[in-house]
Amino acid sequence: MADQWLPIADLVTAVQAKKTTAADLVERSLAALAAQQDYQAIIVTLADRARERARQIDAEIANGKKVGRLAGVPFIAKDNFLVFGAETTAASNILKGFSAPYQATVIERLEAEGAICVAKANLDAFGHGASTENSDFFTTKNPHDTTRVPGGSSGGSATAVVLNMAPFALGTDTGGSSRQPASFSGCVGYKPTYGLMSRSGIVAMASSTDTVGTLARSVSDAALVIDVMAGPDAWDATTIERQENYQDLSTDLKGKKIGIIKEWMGEGLADNVKERIEAAVAKLQAAGATVTEVSLPSLPLALAVYYILVPAEISSNLSRYDGQRYGYSDASAKDLEASYRKSREVGFGKEAKRRIMIGTYVLSSGYYDAYYKKAQTVRTKLINEFNAAFKDYDFLLGPVAPTTAFALGAHKDPLQMYLCDVMTVAASMVGCPAISIPAGTSEKLPVGLQLMAPQRADKELLALAHQTEELLV
């Protein structure tokens, strides 16, 4: 494993004070990427582009210009973010060779503050999965045990952060895709309130729950990155107003009311995960927080809601891959209809096809009310239960996933893989912020603790997570 990075704020101070250079940080990151290729975390490295950006930043510093809050800090973007000068594949064959004509808003914001994108990370194609095994290219390995998965879909991003390939990475989180790999790989994974960060320039999966995820070594690193990215964007009509200063992480655990979710602590939760969560709860209580059990009776339904609504939105969002405007196009087809069908057959992997088929089914005439509308209504029920819980509690707490990282190839059955998302999809369905922070290990494998807050309380959640993280070190 490469040397650990300093906290991001310290790296930036060192660059600004000329104690190090952006070029040095980029070279260090490129060396860490090159030395750890066996983990297959990365789809493409952007060495030339990164070196050029570093030269510009170092020149600005040499000329006495003011540089940004992330000056010289290398980062890695999941390969479903559009970045200039690189292919964006979403780890899918159908997007192989796609060259971004514009950049994602959050990439623009990070670059405007001096951050440097050094690589694009592997994922389950289009974000469909919990292990990176659904990547059309290759599977990323867990940084602690190469016979196990890193989690997914942002598994490449999580592995890259844990192996110090860069100080932070971007992921996406539609149903747990940043939190679950953070839990499996051992870093911080953040899912913001729905709409806090722009999705413009990110390959769409399920538009009613897609969010920008942040993977970092610590909550304070994540908070700095979030502070740069958050806020309204004219190119994403779902964006919401932001809070001031997400970097202010001061809060007192004393008197905080935290609900531990009853439905997630019983049957189905592995004993070794349960032990770590209970140990974290004991530390929170010792620090003065009140942690008591809360029940959200509809929670066991959240996964069924998710696996109706999300495939429905996927089938719609993936309809744009038609082989005509971009992406793989089958040249052998004789007419337009055949060209659509053949391009999609060859270009999409099995999981994308599976989800398109489920989505098409639940949206089709005669089944819409029974599946899609029903799921949207149960979603309301879930939201009501969360709202009620947040009247009594400041935060909710539970595991991120039922187990630690599982073995490569362990879940051959698609439904078994879907069940891995059982504890992360609820926050996605209700749109509230949620974070996974490391809560120790079991037999060398990391266990994540999930904390959730009401919508738009991202700042409060980050502060709580920061204080909790200090207890768990």
Partner 1 sequence: MMIMAKLKRDDILKLAQLARLDLTEAEITEFADELSEILQYVEQLQSVDMADLKPTNQVTGLTNVTRKDEPVDYGYAPKDLLKNVPTVQDDLIKVKRIIA
Catalytic residue positions, numbered:
78, 153, 177
Cα–Cα distance, 28 to 158 (Å, whole number): 18
Contact 8, 224 (CB under 8 A): yes
Nearer to partner 1, 138 or 326 (CB): 326
Cβ pair 45, 76 in contact under 8 A: no
CB of 1 to partner 1, least distance (A): 38
Considering beta carbons, is residue 232 or 440 the nearer one to partner 1?
232
Taking CB under 8 A as the binding criterion, the range among 55-63, 177-185, 343-351, 439-447 that sits at the site for partner 1 is 343-351
Residue 335 interacting with partner 1 (CB under 8 A): yes
- Which 274-303 positions form the footprint of partner 1 (CB under 8 A)? 298, 301
- Tell me which of 217, 379, 459, 466 binds partner 1, using CB under 8 A: 379
Shorter beta-carbon distance to partner 1: residue 100 or 471: 100
Minimum distance, C-beta of residue 242 to partner 1, in the bound complex (Å): 13
Q: Check residue 38 and report its DSSP letter.
A: G
> What count of other Cβ atoms lies within 10 Å of the Cβ of residue 324?
12
- Output the CA–CA distances (angstroms, integers) from residue 118 to 4, 52, 179, 379, 381, in the order listed: 17, 11, 22, 39, 43
Sheet of 212-216, strands arranged across: 42-45, 116-121, 74-78, 168-172, 212-216, 188-191, 434-442, 445-452, 395-399, 257-261, 290-294
**323 contributes a contact to partner 1 by CB under 8 A:** yes
Q: By rule CB under 8 A, what string of x and - marks binding of each residue 427-446 to partner 1?
A: --xxx---------------
For the window 453-472, what string marks contact with partner 1 as x by the rule CB under 8 A? --x-----------------
Classified as helix, coil or strand, 445 is strand
* Alpha carbon distances (Å) from 17 to 13, 85, 245: 6, 30, 24
Does 51 contact partner 1 by CB under 8 A? Answer: no
- The CA distance from 237 to 235, in Å, is 6
Gap between the Cα atoms of 88 and 107, Å rounded: 13
Residues in contact with partner 1, shown as a per-residue x/- string from 95 to 114 under the rule CB under 8 A: --xxx-xx------------
Q: Is 341 in the site for partner 1 (CB under 8 A)?
A: yes
The sign of the CA dihedral 296, 290, 276, 401 is: positive
3-state SS of 9-32 is HHHHHHHHCCCCCHHHHHHHHHHH
Which is nearer to partner 1, 6 or 304 (by Cβ)?
Answer: 304
18/373 with CB nearer partner 1:
373
CB of 341 to partner 1, least distance (A): 4
Q: Judged by CB under 8 A, which of 38, 63, 234, 473 binds partner 1?
A: 234
Residue 466 CB, nearest approach to partner 1 (Å): 25
Q: Which is nearer to partner 1, 285 or 376 (CB)?
A: 376
Instruction: Note whether 469 and 451 are within 8 A (CB).
Output: no
At closest approach, how far in Å is the CB of 199 from partner 1? 13
Residues 146-205 binding partner 1 (CB under 8 A) are: 193-195
Residues 344-373, mask of contacts with partner 1 (x by CB under 8 A): xx--x-x--xx-xxx-xxx-x-xx-xxx-x
207 or 285, CB closer to partner 1?
Answer: 207
Binding of residue 339 to partner 1 (CB under 8 A): yes
CB nearer to partner 1: give 283 or 374.
Answer: 374
For the chain, helix, strand, coil in percent to 5 are 45, 15, 40
- Please give the single-letter amino acid code of residue 128: H
**Closest approach of partner 1 to the CB of residue 43, in Å:** 17
Region 298-317 residues binding partner 1, contact defined as CB under 8 A:
298, 301, 304-305, 307-308, 315
Binding part of the chain for partner 1, among 26-34, 127-135, 412-420, 435-443 by CB under 8 A, reads 412-420
Phi-psi region of 456 (alpha: psi -120 to 50; beta: other; left: phi over 0): left
Single residue of 38, 293, 337, 443 touching partner 1 by CB under 8 A = 337
Within 61-100, the residues that bind partner 1 by CB under 8 A are 97-99
Smallest gap from Cβ 240 to partner 1, in A, equals 6
| Amino acid at the residue 406 | F
Judged by DSSP in three states, 189 sits in strand
Work out the number of other CB atoms within 10 angstroms of the CB of residue 382: 20
Is 414 within 8 Å of 351 (Cβ atoms)?
Answer: yes
Q: Which two tokens stand for residue 272?
A: 């070794």
Half-sphere exposure of 448 (CA within 13 A, CB side): 35
Nearer to partner 1, 5 or 390 (CB): 390
The nearest distance, CB 179 to partner 1, in angstroms, is: 18
- The token pair at 156 is 């490449």
Look up residue 174 and give its two tokens.
Answer: 């539609």
User: Contact region for partner 1 (CB under 8 A) — 40-48, 122-130, 173-181, 336-344?
Assistant: 336-344
Q: Is 327 in the site for partner 1 (CB under 8 A)?
A: yes
Q: How far is the CB of 369 from partner 1 (least distance, A)?
A: 7
